[in-house]
């Protein structure tokens, strides 16, 4: 019956994780790998990994565990992809050009609220900590654990990121 | 002490992240420094906005399949509470996994079957282990359900699981050999079909979620009934034919085909597939083969059904424009690309509901060849003159529809349609997931506020409601039938359309039956990325006498539901067929560009029971033929007929050919929108004589259409592409851009440029 209990615990913890963090994890992963479909795959992998853990060990720090695994997985995916299709700079330019195409801007505005849209204009590290802070609802300390940055560094990035977002938002109003 | 606005403490304080020991000192500074205080307030304001926007952003969710994988093992255990659970669990898991692959996904690749077999032996050793570790002891069904009910958020998962359970139950009677035998016969049937048709339309799983399932979920691996599936496998492999249950077809076939077509190197093939696996979760496309050149002497008649769908173009635009990658070859249907654009063919006369415009010039991508354009223009109908509409929207509200590019986009598109309705119109809404079926009993079009309120109230989430769905929608449409009006069910989905009938052929049958008997047509709107069941949606719309559109933006939603409303809603002719009779004196061989899955046998042209394409008010349909002129030394398309009973190949036998300067004659056959299956179709014909024009002197529309066709051929790696290249396409498109009132042609030019850049980047990195 011991096996059974553990399995039930596993099940419970995955369900809990799914309910609480599914959306935030997808958003976070998508902000790193820039593709929601692949982000979902990463998040699915993360939950599958969670299934394989000893529930006792991950229960306490579930959130940090999930975001850390998810983050590592994202970078795995990016590394793997780089090996496969060497993402050259001009290819990235292509993607960006299209994204910045004014004829599409209106459509994108329909899809995302302003802040989330503007997040994409922030440097990767600022974008990441801001997502963790507000979408993941984490403390500086938790963010520091996940990103391996110091707490003061996290504080600095969040400060700078919010400042930049304020600028972008007020530009838009003006 | 002064505080710099760059000091991260300001934000830390606003967020309550400042170290408690510092808070007092910091607050004192704030008191003394009004700038710092207002800075904190501004930061707080920004934080509030950010939090609010994150809270209000639509929740992102894994697809149902993805979730299914997470929880599947527990369900399997519930299935089997017996004492010998261990072995039975294995069996169940196997069957369930197979059922999930076959039924849930619809389709499983040969590739994954092979993989299973290979991995099976590796797996055997781990089996006991994995079972013990991964699967809990059986718990009684009631208890398990109780546990689940407590968690309302999981209701959806549960229903899903239940669905799987049911499927597994129906799969139970399968013995290994039954399964294999049915595969075999399906495979050989499919093979025959391939041979006799000269082309096959088959499906494959664009990604192989099935593969994923197998590798991630150990339990999938023991699914295959070993010896017999091996047998099936070898037969299939040697026949190069597809296998699966109802819609069969496979990627291996496609790979082989690619090899035959000779334009994919082994490594490219690998890249292509891994690229798909990376980028698509479970989008499904049929496999289409380009129609080859046929020799006029052997086959003077070319017959096809018209197609006014445009979904493929929006989909291609999404790939290239938004994702920055080239679309999978089989997502590109050339005729849908061409027909996305309006061409300025006037409608003249009133005898027939559409008129025909022919033009010919040299082929831009192949010296010596001629290109013939057949353009159809249906009579226009002013919005205020259109007959009243009875529309029932059948809306997918499953959890996966929550993304901004799905339900929210659909809602906006619907509202823009409703605004244009009049009091004579009726609109009803049925959902088939997450809700109770009929959301809106049909109201007249002038009650806009009420209708819009219901539309805005649509929410995604919740499990599939099998009871609601397609029958309810049709019943509602029947109940409110408007004689002489437009009566239509409009299905809107991201592809996962469990509308109450899971068997695809039954669904097709139902849609077809309702269209024939009750004259209620069906239009399909596809939404979103990652799961779009392209081939099924197209198939259903075709059988429902309707169109299939892929809505990738609010702009496209408005184009289909507002700008094109008359065409989308008012059918002016149905079962429209085209037969081209080529003059062998002028034409050595010919090939139809696109319409690969619309070709018909010559004798089906006058078989009025045979369903074909519909044309809506104001619709424009264009088809292109590439022609090798008689007297050309190009032997493309010639078949040397070798028979031991004949002295020579037939190709020189010309004794019965009459004198005529005509290049070809186009025959058209159609029925009125209200005609039944027994009614006789009307027919007329238009001959064409080639004036020998070069393409540089062709009309703007001609040049633009040939650019779009060339683009499709390039994206499909067509071996018939000749000298087609991006620069030629850009030249043709820019010259043919014309007035371009809606800006769509300009957008096309940009798309070609982007595709060119992507291709260059890809080539550079290789």
Same domain as B345, residue B334: yes
Compute the mean pLDDT over every residue in chain B, rounded to the nearest whole number.
71
Q: B300 versus B34: which is more confidently predicted?
A: B300
Please tell me what DSSP assigns to residue B553. S
| CA closest to B759 among chain A residues | A91
Q: Do A14 and B554 touch (CB under 8 A)?
A: no
Return all residues near A117 (Cβ < 8 A) that are at least 6 apart: A108, A109
Q: What percent of chain A has pLDDT over 90?
A: 9
In this predicted structure, what is the pLDDT of residue B129?
Answer: 36
Phi-psi sector, B339: left (phi>0), alpha (psi -120 to 50), beta: alpha
Rounded-to-integer distance, Cα B275 and Cα B258, Å: 16
Same domain as A93, residue A140: yes
Find the CB nearest A48 among B216, B412, B553: B216
Confidence of residue B178 (pLDDT cuts 50, 70, 90): very low
**Owner of token pair 């560094």:** A153
Same domain as A114, residue A96: yes
Q: What percent of chain B has pLDDT over 90?
A: 22
Q: What is the mean pLDDT of residues B56-61?
A: 81
| CA closest to A24 among chain B residues | B60
Find the CB nearest B153 among A19, A37, A38: A19
Q: Do A51 and B281 touch (CB under 8 A)?
A: no
Cβ neighbours of A100 in B, within 8 Å: none
Which of B231-240, B486-495, B508-517, B682-691 shows the highest mean pLDDT?
B682-691
Q: What is the mean pLDDT of residues A86-114?
A: 42
Same domain as B577, residue B559: no
Find the CB nearest B61 among A23, A101, A135: A23
Tokens (6 digits) for B697: 């002197």
Q: What is the mean pLDDT of residues B83-96?
A: 35
Q: B533 versus B241: which is more confidently predicted?
A: B533
Return all residues near A20 (Cβ < 8 A) that are at least 6 apart: A63
Rounded-to-integer distance, Cα B694 and Cα B708, Å: 18
- Could you tell me if B76 and B93 are in contact, meaning their C-beta atoms sit under 8 angstroms apart? yes
Confidence of residue B701 (pLDDT cuts 50, 70, 90): very high
| CA closest to B135 among chain A residues | A7
Helix (H, G, I), strand (E, B) or coil at B319: helix
Compute the mean pLDDT over every residue in chain A, rounded to the nearest whole number.
76
A113 touches B: beta carbon within 8 Å: yes
Among A2, A159, A164, which would you mutate to test the B interface (most chain B Cβ atoms within 10 Å of its Cβ)? A159
Range in A53-67, A149-163, B530-544 with the lowest mean pLDDT: B530-544
ipTM above 0.85, yes or no: no
Rounded-to-integer distance, Cα B410 and Cα B426, Å: 19
In this predicted structure, what is the pLDDT of residue B335?
Answer: 92
In this predicted structure, what is the pLDDT of residue B463?
Answer: 52
Domain boundary among A30, A63, A87: A87
Q: Do A85 and B750 touch (CB under 8 A)?
A: no
A118 touches B: beta carbon within 8 Å: no
In this predicted structure, what is the pLDDT of residue B648?
Answer: 58
Domain that holds residue B25: 8-56
In this predicted structure, what is the pLDDT of residue B208?
Answer: 33
Q: Do B132 and A134 touch (CB under 8 A)?
A: no
Tell me the sheet residues that pair with B549: B525
Same domain as A21, residue A3: yes
Same domain as B425, residue B337: no
Nearest Cα of chain B lies from the Cα of A116 at a distance, in angstroms, of 7
Domain that holds residue A123: 89-174
Nearest Cα of chain B lies from the Cα of A129 at a distance, in angstroms, of 13
Q: What is the mean pLDDT of residues B63-83?
A: 52
Domain boundary among B498, B533, B566: B566
pLDDT digits (tens, 9 = 90+) for B390-417: 999 998 887 778 787 888 888 888 888 8
pTM (two decimals): 0.49
Same domain as B467, residue B540: yes
For B62-80, letters b (16+ CB in 10 Å) and e give bbbbbbbbbbbbbbbbbbb
Confidence of residue B649 (pLDDT cuts 50, 70, 90): low
Same domain as A46, residue A1: yes
Return all residues near B758 (Cβ < 8 A) that are at least 6 apart: A91, A94, B320, B324, B325, B326
Asked whether residue A147 carries a pLDDT value surpassing 80, the answer given is yes
Tokens (6 digits) for B38: 């207002």
Same domain as B390, residue B374: no
**One-character DSSP codes across chain A:** -HHHHHHHHHHHHHHHHHHHHHHHHHHHHHHHHS-HHHHHHHHHHHHHHHHHS-HHHHHTTHHHHHHHHHHHHHHHHHHHHHHHS---HHHHHHHHHHHH-HHHHHHHHHHS-HHHHHHTTS-HHHHHHHIIIIIS---HHHHHHHHT--HHHHHHHHHHHHHHHHHHHHHHH-
Same domain as A82, residue A131: no
Cβ neighbours of B50 in A, within 8 Å: 115, 130, 134, 162, 165
In this predicted structure, what is the pLDDT of residue B616?
Answer: 86
Domain boundary among B566, B588, B613: B566
In this predicted structure, what is the pLDDT of residue B126?
Answer: 37
**Owner of token pair 């009650």:** B447
Nearest Cα of chain B lies from the Cα of A147 at a distance, in angstroms, of 17
Does B1 fall in a domain? Answer: no
Could you report how far apart the first and last alpha carbons of chain A are, in Å? 66
Rounded-to-integer distance, Cα A111 and Cα B684, Å: 48
Confidence of residue B247 (pLDDT cuts 50, 70, 90): very low
Phi-psi sector, A134: left (phi>0), alpha (psi -120 to 50), beta: alpha
Q: B447 versus B649: which is more confidently predicted?
A: B447
Total domains present in chain B: 4
A55 touches B: beta carbon within 8 Å: no
Find the CB nearest B69 among A44, A95, A101: A44
Domain boundary among A45, A60, A87: A87
In this predicted structure, what is the pLDDT of residue B233?
Answer: 33
Confidence of residue B662 (pLDDT cuts 50, 70, 90): very high
Confidence of residue B531 (pLDDT cuts 50, 70, 90): low
In this predicted structure, what is the pLDDT of residue B543?
Answer: 86
Asked whether residue A105 carries a pLDDT value surpassing 50, the answer given is no
Among A41, A125, A130, A143, which would you mutate to test the B interface (most chain B Cβ atoms within 10 Å of its Cβ)? A41
Nearest Cα of chain A lies from the Cα of B737 at a distance, in angstroms, of 18
For residue B212, the tally of other CB atoms under 10 A from its CB is 21
pLDDT digits (tens, 9 = 90+) for B115-128: 333 333 333 333 33
Same domain as A124, residue A65: no
In this predicted structure, what is the pLDDT of residue B72?
Answer: 52
A23 touches B: beta carbon within 8 Å: yes
Same domain as B396, residue B536: yes
Which of A88-97, B229-238, B431-440, B531-540 shows the highest mean pLDDT?
B531-540
Asked whether residue B165 carries a pLDDT value surpassing 50, the answer given is no
Nearest Cα of chain B lies from the Cα of A123 at a distance, in angstroms, of 17
Find the CB nearest A115 among B9, B53, B405: B53
Q: What is the mean pLDDT of residues B42-61?
A: 84
In this predicted structure, what is the pLDDT of residue B721?
Answer: 87
Cβ neighbours of B86 in A, within 8 Å: none
Closest to B743 in 3D by CA, of B566, B619, B559: B559
Q: Tell the burial category of B691 from Cβ atoms under 10 Å away from its Cβ (0-12, 13-18, 19+).
A: exposed
Q: B343 versus B160: which is more confidently predicted?
A: B343
Same domain as B268, residue B413: no
**Helices B64-79 & B141-150, crossing angle to 10 degrees?**
150
Among A3, A99, A111, A171, which would you mutate to test the B interface (most chain B Cβ atoms within 10 Å of its Cβ)? A111
Same domain as A106, residue A54: no
Q: B570 versus B529: which is more confidently predicted?
A: B570
Same domain as B212, residue B275: yes
Find the CB nearest A94 among B136, B151, B324: B324
Tokens (6 digits) for B159: 């229903």
Which of B90-104, B215-229, B312-326 shows the highest mean pLDDT?
B312-326
Q: What is the mean pLDDT of residues B668-683?
A: 88
| CA closest to B746 among chain A residues | A103
Q: B438 versus B202: which is more confidently predicted?
A: B438
Does B289 fall in a domain? Answer: no
Asked whether residue B669 carries a pLDDT value surpassing 60, the answer given is yes
Same domain as B461, residue B587: no
| CA closest to B530 among chain A residues | A37
CATH code of the domain covering residue A165: 1.10.10.10
CATH code of the domain covering residue B505: 3.40.50.410
Gyration radius from chain B CA atoms: 29
Q: B559 versus B685: which is more confidently predicted?
A: B685
Asked whether residue B2 carries a pLDDT value surpassing 60, the answer given is yes
Gyration radius from chain A CA atoms: 18
Same domain as A3, residue A74: yes
Return all residues near B93 (Cβ < 8 A) that are at least 6 apart: B73, B76, B219, B220, B222, B223
Q: Do B8 and A156 touch (CB under 8 A)?
A: yes
A79 touches B: beta carbon within 8 Å: no
Rounded-to-integer distance, Cα A158 and Cα B652, Å: 81
CA angle B561, B613, B307 (to 5 degrees): 65
Same domain as B543, residue B576: no
Asked whether residue B48 carries a pLDDT value surpassing 80, the answer given is yes
Among B15, B41, B60, which would you mutate to test the A interface (most chain A Cβ atoms within 10 Å of its Cβ)? B60
Rounded-to-integer distance, Cα B73 and Cα B168, Å: 13
Total domains present in chain A: 2
Same domain as A93, residue A65: no
For residue B170, the tally of other CB atoms under 10 A from its CB is 12
Find the CB nearest B281 among A41, A98, A158: A41
A170 touches B: beta carbon within 8 Å: no
CATH code of the domain covering residue A46: 1.10.1740
A168 touches B: beta carbon within 8 Å: no
Asked whether residue B79 carries a pLDDT value surpassing 60, the answer given is no
Measured in degrees and rounded to the nearest 5, phi and psi for residue B636 equal -55, 130
Same domain as A94, residue A83: no
In this predicted structure, what is the pLDDT of residue A108?
Answer: 43
Cβ neighbours of A164 in B, within 8 Å: none
Same domain as B546, residue B484: yes
Same domain as B603, residue B482: no
Same domain as A71, residue A11: yes
Cβ neighbours of A83 in B, within 8 Å: none
In this predicted structure, what is the pLDDT of residue B101?
Answer: 36
In this predicted structure, what is the pLDDT of residue A83?
Answer: 56
Q: Do A158 and B8 touch (CB under 8 A)?
A: yes
């Amino acid at each position: 019956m011991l096996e059974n209990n553990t399995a039930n615990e596993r099940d419970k913890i995955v369900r809990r994780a799914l309910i609480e963090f599914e959306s935030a994890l997808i958003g976070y992963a998508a902000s790193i790998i820039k593709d929601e479909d692949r982000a979902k795959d990463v998040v699915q992998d993360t939950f599958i990994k969670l299934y394989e853990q000893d529930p006792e060990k991950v229960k306490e720090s579930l959130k940090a565990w999930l975001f850390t695994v998810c983050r590592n997985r994202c970078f795995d995916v990016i590394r793997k992809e780089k090996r496969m299709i060497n993402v050259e700079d001009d290819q990235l330019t292509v993607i960006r050009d299209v994204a910045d195409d004014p004829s599409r801007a209106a459509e994108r505005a329909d899809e995302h609220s302003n802040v989330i849209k503007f997040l994409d204009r922030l440097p990767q590290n600022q974008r990441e900590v801001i997502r963790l802070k507000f979408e993941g609802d984490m403390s500086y300390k938790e963010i520091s654990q996940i990103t391996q940055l110091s707490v003061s560094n996290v504080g600095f990035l969040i400060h700078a990121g919010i400042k930049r977002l304020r600028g972008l938002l007020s530009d838009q109003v003006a | 002490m002064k505080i710099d606005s760059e000091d991260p403490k300001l934000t830390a304080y606003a967020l309550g992240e400042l170290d408690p020991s510092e808070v007092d000192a910091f607050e004192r500074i704030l008191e003394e420094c009004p700038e710092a205080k207002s800075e904190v307030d501004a930061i707080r304001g920004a934080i509030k906005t950010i939090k609010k926007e994150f809270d209000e952003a639509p929740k992102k969710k894994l697809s149902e399949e993805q979730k299914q994988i997470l929880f599947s093992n527990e369900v399997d255990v519930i299935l089997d509470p017996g004492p010998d659970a261990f072995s039975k669990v294995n069996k169940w898991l196997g069957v369930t996994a197979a059922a999930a692959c076959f039924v849930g996904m619809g389709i499983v690749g040969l590739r994954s079957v092979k993989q299973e077999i290979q991995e099976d032996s590796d797996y055997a050793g781990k089996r006991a282990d994995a079972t013990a570790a991964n699967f809990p002891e059986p718990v009684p069904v009631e208890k398990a359900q109780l546990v689940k009910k407590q968690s309302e958020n999981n209701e959806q998962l549960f229903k899903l699981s239940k669905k799987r359970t049911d499927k597994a139950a129906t799969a139970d009677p399968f013995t290994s050999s039954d399964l294999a035998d049915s595969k075999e016969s399906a495979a050989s049937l499919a093979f025959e079909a391939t041979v006799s048709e000269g082309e096959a339309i088959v499906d494959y799983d664009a990604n192989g979620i099935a593969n994923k399932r197998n590798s991630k979920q150990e339990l999938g691996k023991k699914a295959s009934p070993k010896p017999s599936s091996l047998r099936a496998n070898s037969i299939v492999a040697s026949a190069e034919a597809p296998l699966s249950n109802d819609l069969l077809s496979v990627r291996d076939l496609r790979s082989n085909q690619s090899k035959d077509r000779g334009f994919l190197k082994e490594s490219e093939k690998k890249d292509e597939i891994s690229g798909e696996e990376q980028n698509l979760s479970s989008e499904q496309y049929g496999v289409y083969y380009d129609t080859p050149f046929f020799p006029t002497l052997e086959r003077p008649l070319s017959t096809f059904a018209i197609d006014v769908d445009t979904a493929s173009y929006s989909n291609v635009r999404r790939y290239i424009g938004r994702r920055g990658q080239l679309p999978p070859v089989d997502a590109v249907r050339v005729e849908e690309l061409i027909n996305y654009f309006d061409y300025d063919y006037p409608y003249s006369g009133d005898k027939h509901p559409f008129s025909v415009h022919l033009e010919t010039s040299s082929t831009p991508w192949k010296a010596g060849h001629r290109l013939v354009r057949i353009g159809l223009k249906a009579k226009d109908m002013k919005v205020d003159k259109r007959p009243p509409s009875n529309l029932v929207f059948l809306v997918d509200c499953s959890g996966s529809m929550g993304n901004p590019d799905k339900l929210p986009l659909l809602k906006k598109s619907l509202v823009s349609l409703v605004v244009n309705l009049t009091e004579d119109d009726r609109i009803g809404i049925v959902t088939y997931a997450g809700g109770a079926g009929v959301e809106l009993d049909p109201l007249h079009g002038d009650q806009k506020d009420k209708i819009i309120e219901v539309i805005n109230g649509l929410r995604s989430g919740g499990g599939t409601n099998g009871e609601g769905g397609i029958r309810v929608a049709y019943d509602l449409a029947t109940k409110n039938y408007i004689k002489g009006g437009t009566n239509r069910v409009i299905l809107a989905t991201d592809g996962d359309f469990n509308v109450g009938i899971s068997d695809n052929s039954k669904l097709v049958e139902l849609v077809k039956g309702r269209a024939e008997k009750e004259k209620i047509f069906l239009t399909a709107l596809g939404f979103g990325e990652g799961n779009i069941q392209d081939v099924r949606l197209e198939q259903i719309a075709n059988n429902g006498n309707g169109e299939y559109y892929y809505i990738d933006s609010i702009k496209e939603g408005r184009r289909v539901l507002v700008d094109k409303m008359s065409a989308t809603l008012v059918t002016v002719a149905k079962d429209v067929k085209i037969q081209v009779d080529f003059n062998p004196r002028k034409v050595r061989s010919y090939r139809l560009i696109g319409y690969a899955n619309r070709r018909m046998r010559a004798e089906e042209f006058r078989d009025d029971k045979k369903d074909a394409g519909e044309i809506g008010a104001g619709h424009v349909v264009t088809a292109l033929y590439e022609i090798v002129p008689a007297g050309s030394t190009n032997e493309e398309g010639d078949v040397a007929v070798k028979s031991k009973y004949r002295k020579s190949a037939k190709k020189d036998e010309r004794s019965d050919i009459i004198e005529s300067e005509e290049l070809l004659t186009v025959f058209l056959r159609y029925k009125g929108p209200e005609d039944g299956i027994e009614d006789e179709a009307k027919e007329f014909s238009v001959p064409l004589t080639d004036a020998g024009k070069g393409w540089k002197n062709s009309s703007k529309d001609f040049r633009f259409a040939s650019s779009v066709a060339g683009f499709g051929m390039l994206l499909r790696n067509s071996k018939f592409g000749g000298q087609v290249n991006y620069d030629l396409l850009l030249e043709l498109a820019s010259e043919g851009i014309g007035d371009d009132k809606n800006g769509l042609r300009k957008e096309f030019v940009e798309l070609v440029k982007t595709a060119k850049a992507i291709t260059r980047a890809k080539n550079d990195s290789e």
